[in-house]
Every structure is written in structure tokens, then in C-alpha cells.
Amino acid sequence: MKSILGYLRSYAGTLNRPSFLSVSLLMAVLVYLNYTFGIERSIMAQPAWIRLGGFLCLYLFIFGGAWLLQSLFSPTLHKMPRCWYWLLLAACAIFAIKVSMDDITRWLTAGLTDPWDRYGYYVLNWPLKCAVVLLLISFVWRTGRFTGPVAGLQLRGFDVKPYWWLLLMMVPLIAFAGTQADFQHTYPKMQRIYFIDDHTAVSWPWKLLYELSYGVDFLTIEAFFRGFLVLAFARFAGAAAILPMAAFYCCIHFGKPLFECITSYFGGLILGVVVLNTRSIWGGLIVHLGIAWLMELAGYYFAGH
């Protein structure tokens, strides 16, 4: 835990304050606009190709805008090589593909009988997206000749203990979030597959499989945001890669409860600092996945009260 606190103190000491304030203000305005006018919800309602273009534009605006704001206060970021711009475009495109490929999963499971076509969609969707994102990240990583394991997927020298403490610190926040109406409406995610209770004598194995599939999505998130957006962009900008990543990470929570969206910005900063120093995503994955499953438990608890 001391090492993580040391990473955070070091980052805070070198953080460009005007950059942080300007990017934070940008995200505050966008969070307000989204929860007032439903930006994310409107894009999700579009057909697949329009949805892909909509999310690409949204991500380019937020991720590119955060980098632009940083460059206004950091002269070293004024002149990036041409490959950096291609990397930025590729990053936004990869995640736009990730959030827009639901129709492919529906097509793959359409041949199943009801209700297993619906169940199959929910269980297959996250692993399929994970495979696509990891393949695209690996392609960019190899093409760009980045050093080290792809996107921080390494276990060498990894110490699990500090991350359990971080996870423990999140319990009071999750307990508070669980009392909010929008949280109770969203969690547990497993409520999406309660329909299988009427079609199987023993439903818990199917529900366990769903939760494991849900957990795969957090490997996707950590590999992309911390492993790719931090470690790949840090080759060009060092610790300055963390703030735009946190802004991008915040915007993918636009469809989540408001409190979760706001805290994701600061959580993204913390996990980004950790990954930059450890060069590994596994600690962040433990924290992120632990939070996700604790939120599932909180959803169950508060749903019963």
C-alpha cells in the first residue's frame, strides 16, 4: 500500500494543475449534458453503423479534447509525431467498435431457441468483445513496435497485497452508492437473466456463468484503458497519458448511475498512475473486478430491502 501511495504522491507533485482543472471542467460539463440530454442513450439507440460513427466522434472529441487541453499548458506536448495521431484515432476506433458490435452477437445466437437465444447473447457478448479488442490492441502494439508485454499483460514481479487494501477502501463508497435509486435500478446486472428461472430446475450454474462472463469485460476495460491508453501513449508523453485516459474512461460510464460515472474519473486516474509505475494491469483488474462483483452483491442486498 505504501508503494501505491508513493506513486500517487509523485504523480500529484508533477501534475500540471491547469491541465487537470481544464480537463476536469470539460468532463463536468459533458457529464451534465449527458445526464440532462441523454447523449450516450441517443447514440446507443441508433442502427449499428450510425452508432459506430457516433461513438467514434464522441470519443475523438473527449479523448482528443483532453490531449488538446493538456497541450495548451504543456509545451512538450505541442509537437507529436504523425504516428501519435494515428494511435489516437486507432484507440477511439477500437472502443467504438467494442460498444457497437452487439448486433454481431445477436446474429450468432439467433439460431438458438427462446429463451436461450437471449441468454446466449448476454453470456457470449462480453467474451467476444474482449477477444476483438485484445486482437486489435495486439495488432497496433506489434505494428507500432511497442516494448514489453502487450498492454501490460505481465505477471512478473506482481504483488497482490496492496490491491486488496484498495478494494477494501471502496466498500463504504459502494455501500453508499447502493442506497441510490439509480444504482438499485441498474444493479445487479444479473437481473437481465432472471427469465431463466422459469426454464431450468437449477439456475445457479447459469447465473454463475453469467457473472464470469460479466467479469471478462473488466479484462477488456483494463487492457484497453490502462494497458493500452496509458502504456502506449506514455511512450510519447510519459505521465501526461494518464489524464486523457481518465477522461475517456469517464465517458464510457455515461450510461451508468451518476455517482458511478463521477467516481470513475478519479478511479481512472488512480489506476492509471499504478499501471504507469508497475507496467502491469493485473492489480487494477483485481480492484476493478472486485468492485464490480461487490456492486452486484450490493444490488442483491438493497433489492431485498
**Spatial contact of 135 and 256, defined as CB atoms under 8 Å apart:** no
| Per-residue pLDDT reduced to its tens digit, 75-124 | 788 788 889 999 999 999 999 999 999 999 999 999 999 999 999 999 99
Q: Look at the chain and report how many structural domains it folds into.
A: 1
In a domain, 26, yes or no: no
Q: Does the residue 224 lie in any domain?
A: yes
Residue 93: inside a domain: no
Question: What one-character DSSP code corresponds to residue 226?
Answer: I
90 φ/ψ angles, rounded to the nearest 5 degrees: -65, -40
118, 195 Cβ separation under 8 angstroms? yes
Domain contains 87: no
pTM over 0.85: yes
282 lies in a domain? Answer: yes
H or E stretch covering 164: helix 161-177
Give the residue from 134, 133, 102 showing the smallest Cα distance to 120.
Answer: 102
Q: What is the pLDDT of residue 141?
A: 92
Cα four-point dihedral sign 156, 216, 235, 254: negative
Task: Report residues of the chain scoring pLDDT below 70.
Answer: 1, 155-158, 303-305
> Is 1 domain-assigned?
no
Nine-digit cell string for 149 = 508485454
Q: What is the pLDDT of residue 215?
A: 94
Residue 88 lies in a domain: no
How much is the pLDDT for 278? 85
- Asked if residue 28 is part of any domain, the answer here is no
pLDDT of the residue at 84 = 92
Q: What is the pLDDT of residue 304?
A: 59
Per-residue pLDDT, 1? 64
Residue 184 half-sphere exposure, CB side, CA atoms within 13 Å?
11
pLDDT digits (tens, 9 = 90+) for 217-248: 999 999 999 999 999 999 999 999 999 999 99
Nine cell digits for residue 293: 462483483
Could you list the residue range(s) of the whole structural domain that residue 244 is in?
A: 101-303
Apex 125 CA angle, 122 and 126, nearest 5: 105
